[in-house]
Amino acid sequence: MSGVWDNDKLLRVDMTALTVAVEAYPLAWKYLGGRSLSARILLDECDPGCDPLGPDNVLVLAPGILSGTSAPTSGRLSVGCKSPLTGGIKEANAGGNPGQDLMKLGYRGVIVTGQPADREKRWGLVVSEEEVRLTAADEYKGMWNYACCERLLADRPKNASAISIGPAGELMLSAASVACTDKDKARRPARHAARGGVGAVMGSKCLKWVVIEPGKARLRQPADNKAFTTNNKVFSQAYLGDGRHNIFKGGTSTGVPMANMLNTFPYKNRTAGRNPEVDRLDGARIHEAFARRGGGMHNCMTGCIVRCSNIIHDVEGSYVTSALEFETLTLLGSCCAINNWEDVADLDRLCDELGVDTIEIGAAIAVYMDSGGMEWGDAEGAKALLRNELSKGGEIGVLIGNGALSIGVHRNHHRIPVAKGQALPAWDPRPLKAAGVTYSTSAMGADHTAGLVIDPELAGDAAVRASQEAQVVNAVCDASGFCQFMQPTLDEIRQCYSLFYGEAVTRAQIADQGWQCLEDEWEFNRRAGFTEADDDMAACLREEGIGPDNSLVFDIPPDVCAKAKTRLPLRDSLFEKGAAA
C-alpha cells in the first residue's frame, strides 16, 4: 500500500571512501524515528565492541518522525553512536532547524561510517534539493562553533541550517557535543546534542560540519491534511490552556528555587543539595535583566510554541549566549560554587563555542575543585581553563574535556558522581529516588532526559515503576521529534501518527514502540559487555548523605532498580501523562 512515507530516504556517508549514497527508506521502519531509529541502526550496523573513536563506530543523525511537519514544536534531531564516554549506546538530541530541514528534503536519517586515511583533513557535507556531496573543509579546521557557522552560512540561502563540531570534537574529547543552529536570524549554533561525546565521534570521522539547504521544500504532507491540521490546533490549544505551558514559559532557569528547596540543586560537587547563595543563580535575575539589556524569551526552532529559550545580553546590550538553562546554572554554577549567573553565561558561551556538554564539564570542574585543583568559585579560572587549556588540548584541558570520571580518576579523588561513566545531571538521586533508578538502569547512564521523575515521595517499587513508565514515555517522545517540554502524552503522539500515516495506531502499539527502543538500547550495551553490575550508582551517592541531618542517600538496592528492565503493563492513566522534562 502506498503512503506518505514512500519517498523517504536514508543518506549514507562513507568517510573512508569519501562517498555518499542515497537509498530508499525501509517501509518496515516507518514508525521508527529519532532515538528509536538511531537505536535500531546502531544495533543492526554497529559493532558494539568497536573502538568508539575508530572507523567501525557509526554516527547517526535522525530527525523525529514528525519533524518537518506542521505538528507544533516537533523538529528535534537525534544524534546517536557508541559513546566514547560510557562505552555503551548513546542518543543525544537537539532543537534548532536542522532536523526539520532534513525531513523536508525527505531524509529520515544520515548514517556516517568509516574514517578518512588522512586524519588531518576536514570535510563538510552539503545536503540540498539539488545534490548531496562531501566537500573539503580544511579552512574550518579548529574553528570555534560560532565563527564556523557564521562563515559557513554567510553566502547560503537564509533558510539554510547547520550542524557542526567545535575544537573539542576535533580533539575527540569524550564530553564533546554536536551543535545545531537555531531559527534566529543570526542562525547561532546554540542548540547542542550534548551528552555522551557524540561530537567526538563526529570528529573522529573528520566531519566538521553538515549544512542543509531545504530550498523550496514543503512541509511533510500527512495522509489526512485537514484532520492533521485540526488536530495540531487542538493539541496546541490544549498545551497553552491546560497549565503545561506555565511550567516552561519563563525557561528552565526559573526552576532554580524549587530545585534548591528539594535538595537537588547540587553545591560544591554534591556535598550539599542546597546552595546558600541560590538567589544569585535564580532565573528571575535573568528576567529582570531583559528590560535593561535586551534579550528575552524565544523559540529555538520554527513552529515552536513553548518558547523556553532565553537570549542573554551583557551589561552593554551585546549578545552572550542562548539558552542559559537550569542544568547549566546548576553544574557550571552551583556545583562549582560559581554563584553568579553572568559568570555562568560566559562559561555557557565558551562551552557552546568549543562544543562541549555543560553538564559533563561543570561536573568535571567541580571534581577538580573538590580535589584541590582549583579554588571553589573561581569563575575566571574556570573560564581560562576552557579558553586556554581545553580549546588547545592542554593536559588538564583534556582531562576535563574527557569528563568527570576522567579528571576524578587522574586525581585519585573519592567523590565522582557518575553512572555508567557519565556525570549526573542536576536532579540528585538521593531526594529523587525514581530519577536515580533511571540513571542506574537507562542504557544512556545518568541522563535526565531518559526519564526524569521529580517526586520526592516515591521510594522502593513505586519509584522503580515510575522510572520505567517515564523511560517508555520519553523514548516515544524522542522518537517522535516532539520536544519533551511540549510534554506530549502517549495518546497525543499516537493520534498524530494515526492522522499522519492514515492508519490507526493503538495504545498497545505506541507502548510497544517505546519498549522496543529501550530493549534495543539495552541489547546493544549487553553486546558491548555491560552486565548487571553496571546498573548502579557511584558509591559516593549511596554513602554520603545530603539534606536534613545528611539523611538523604540513594538507598534503592541494585536488584530492586533492575526491576525497571522487566516490563510491566502500562496503566491507562499513563497514556494521558506527558513526557517528563
pTM: 0.97
pLDDT for residue 244 is more than 80: no
pLDDT tens figures, 293-342: 999 999 999 999 999 999 999 999 999 999 999 999 999 999 999 999 99
Top CATH class of 249-426 equals: mainly alpha
Quick one: average pLDDT of 47-73? 97
| Percent of the chain topping pLDDT 70 | 98
- What pLDDT score does 570 carry? 85
Calpha distance 494→2 (Å, rounded): 20
Going by pLDDT thresholds of 50, 70 and 90, the confidence category of residue 3 is low
DSSP labels for 10-26? Answer: EEEEETTTTEEEEEEPP
pLDDT for residue 581 is more than 70: no
What are all long-range contacts of 446-455, with beta carbons under 8 Å and residues at least 24 apart?
A: 446/418, 446/419, 446/420, 446/422, 447/195, 447/196, 447/422, 448/327, 449/93, 449/474, 449/478, 449/484, 450/474, 451/580, 452/427, 452/580, 452/581, 453/580, 454/262, 454/427, 454/580
Cis bond before residue 443 (omega within 30° of 0):
no
* Beta-strand pair 107-113/59-63: antiparallel
Going by pLDDT thresholds of 50, 70 and 90, the confidence category of residue 241 is confident
Burial of 120 (0-12, 13-18, 19+ CB in 10 A): exposed
- What pLDDT score does 239 carry? 87
Quick one: average pLDDT of 122-149? 98
- What pLDDT score does 249 carry? 82
Going by pLDDT thresholds of 50, 70 and 90, the confidence category of residue 245 is confident
pLDDT tens figures, 457-509: 999 999 999 999 999 999 999 999 999 999 999 999 999 999 999 999 999 99
pLDDT for residue 510 is more than 70: yes
- What pLDDT score does 1 carry? 40
CB atoms within 10 A of CB 183: 22
- 336: Cα separation from own chain's centroid: 22
Quick one: average pLDDT of 237-266? 89
pLDDT tens figures, 166-208: 999 999 999 999 999 999 888 999 999 999 999 999 999 999 9
Residue position matching grid coordinates 559533563: 360
Domain borders along the chain are: 9-213, 249-426, 429-581
DSSP labels for 278-298? Answer: GGGG-HHHHHHHHHHH--EEE
- What pLDDT score does 163 carry? 98
* CA dihedral over 33, 482, 264, 251, signed as positive or negative: positive
Residue position matching grid coordinates 541531618: 549
Q: Contact 266/296 with Cβ under 8 angstroms?
A: no
* Beta-strand pair 9-14/107-113: parallel
Calpha distance 353→358 (Å, rounded): 11
CATH superfamily of 9-213: Aldehyde ferredoxin oxidoreductase, N-terminal domain (3.60.9.10)
- 372: Cα separation from own chain's centroid: 30
Indicate the residue type of 180. C
pLDDT tens figures, 421-435: 999 999 999 999 999
Topology match between the domains 9-213 and 429-581: no
Residue position matching grid coordinates 530492586: 560
pLDDT for residue 30 is more than 80: yes
DSSP labels for 181-216? Answer: --SSTT----EEE-GGGHHHHHHHTTEEEEEEE-TT
- What pLDDT score does 299 carry? 92
| Percent of the chain topping pLDDT 90 | 93
Q: Contact 345/333 with Cβ under 8 angstroms?
A: no
Quick one: average pLDDT of 353-369? 98
Considering the four listed CATH numbers 1.10.599.10, 1.10.3720.10, 3.40.50.720, 3.30.43.10, the one that applies to the domain covering 429-581 is 1.10.599.10
pLDDT tens figures, 523-568: 999 999 999 999 999 999 999 999 999 999 999 999 999 999 999 9
pLDDT for residue 243 is more than 80: no
